[in-house]
Amino acid sequence: MSGPDTMHDPSTMTAEALATAFRDGTTSACANVAATLARIARVDGAVNAFTDILAARAQARAEALDAARGRGEPLGPLAGVPFAVKNLFDIAGLPTRAGAKINRDRAPAERDAALVRRMEAAGAILVGGLNMGEYAYDFTGENVHDGPTRNPHDLGHMSGGSSGGSGGAVGAGLVPIALGSDTNGSIRVPSTFCGCFGLKPTYGRLTRAGSFPFVGSLDHVGPMARSVTDLALSYDAMQGPDPDDPVATTRPAEPALSHLTNGLGNLRVAVAGGYFARGGDAEAFAAVAAIARALGVTRSVAIPEAARARAAAYLITAAEGAALHLDRLRTRGEDFDPAVRDRLIAGAMIPAPLVERAQRFRRWYRSAVLDLFREVDVILAPATPCRAPRSGQATFVLDGVTLPVRANIGVFTQPISFIGLPVVAVPVRLDDGLPLGVQVIAAPWREDHALRVAHQLERDGVVRAPVANL
């Protein structure tokens, strides 16, 4: 006989649906956790999204939530919803891996990262830590220490990185929400490859306190989810100032969930041309065109000097990343992923005047792009130049040129995160093949604009995040 613990399948439900079912008594938090852990045990051996499973902690948290509901206590908007985090977020009692062999020698974290605490304050239940590229310096999702996270829609292909475990976990139906980080595209790339929604908020919008850094002037943190509503629910739960992150905004929280149903309204939407209309496979641009048609968009804008912005982002990334890891490079160089180590060493050799020029250009570029947002509210651009490459693939051909995969997956994401703009990555399927993705880009602090457009597309059936058939 079916009862409240057996009538639902968390692997196919959104966080919103799970929270609703918990609040109305259709299911229990314990049932959600049990079903989630069972699916992880059954599926994750193939996907390899998780590095740490927190079964005892999750079960204890679920029991407490069920008891609170039984006492009639107020329940948070994510009550009863399992989630997981990229393993660069501190988890109390575990060393913070950041995808690295070296970090496993660190002392266990004394408390959870700020965003983990905020998610749990909203009622969510942490079930584990997720695989990632070493020190977040990766676009492929292939970790030499923990093994690659595989694309849940085709296990022979990459998940994308560096938040590959986060994308793989959501795309495989292991959790409805996962947290990731994005320095040059590390939320948007795996969201695209794994067919889920991802939000890279404005730089400084969400606190990074309790997360292992990569490039302090470029690092963002944010959610990946099965629906736009789930993005907004988690984003709203995590907002707010935090003195523990020196770049966290002091702006008050600006909830986005209530704006989703406003539709497009009078939002002015344009397609990014020029740099963002070349250098990729035809199907990447076809995905943007499909989104534009669905929205009735005919306008195009040119983001000035985007190629130079990407080059400057590379310089700053390499130099700041190298500075962070110099001591480790000197004392434990053999324990790095060789590809990461070599890029960091190269970054340490960049002349300081070049980095200073990149920073000066960055200020000019930000001003020039912000001028565009006087004319438009949202800009559409491809998220990646192609679908997910095959696992282990070293090169691909873009516009007739053979290029290294790892260095060029972020060709369209880097010029955007370089100046901290908010972006929602939306998954597009043009056929039965692997997903593609489109960036929905907004002006600083206007996450609500990007989320509104993404929600309209989802509501119209143009974009969706199906759970992989595993």
Q: Which band of pLDDT confidence, cut at 50, 70 and 90, is reported for residue 7? A: low
87 has pLDDT over 80: yes
Instruction: State mean pLDDT over 423-441.
Output: 95
Q: Which amino acid appears at position 408 of this protein? A: N
134 has pLDDT over 60: yes
Among all chains, which residue has been given the structure tokens 């060789």? 338
Instruction: State mean pLDDT over 193-203.
Output: 98
Indicate the SS3 state at residue 382: strand
Give 444-468 pLDDT, tens digit per residue: 999 999 999 999 999 999 999 988 9
Distance, CA of 19 to CA of 236 (rounded, Å): 15
Instruction: State mean pLDDT over 323-350.
Output: 97
What's the confidence (pLDDT) of residue 466?
A: 87
pTM of the model: 0.97
pLDDT, averaged across the chain: 96
Question: From its phi and psi, is residue 401 left (phi > 0), alpha (psi between -120 and 50) or beta?
Answer: beta
Indicate the SS3 state at residue 169: helix
What's the confidence (pLDDT) of residue 10?
A: 85
In eight-state DSSP terms, residue 93 is: T
Indicate the SS3 state at residue 322: helix
Instruction: State mean pLDDT over 255-272.
Output: 96
Q: What are the Cα distances from residue 413, in Å, to 408, 424, 435, 445, 453?
A: 10, 11, 17, 18, 19
**Where in the sequence numbering do the catalytic residues fall?**
86, 162, 186
Instruction: State mean pLDDT over 26-54.
Output: 98
What's the confidence (pLDDT) of residue 1?
A: 30
**In contact, 368 and 361? CB cutoff 8 Å:** no
Q: Which band of pLDDT confidence, cut at 50, 70 and 90, is reported for residue 335? A: very high
List Cβ neighbours of 328 (8 Å cut-off, separation of 6 or more): 102, 336
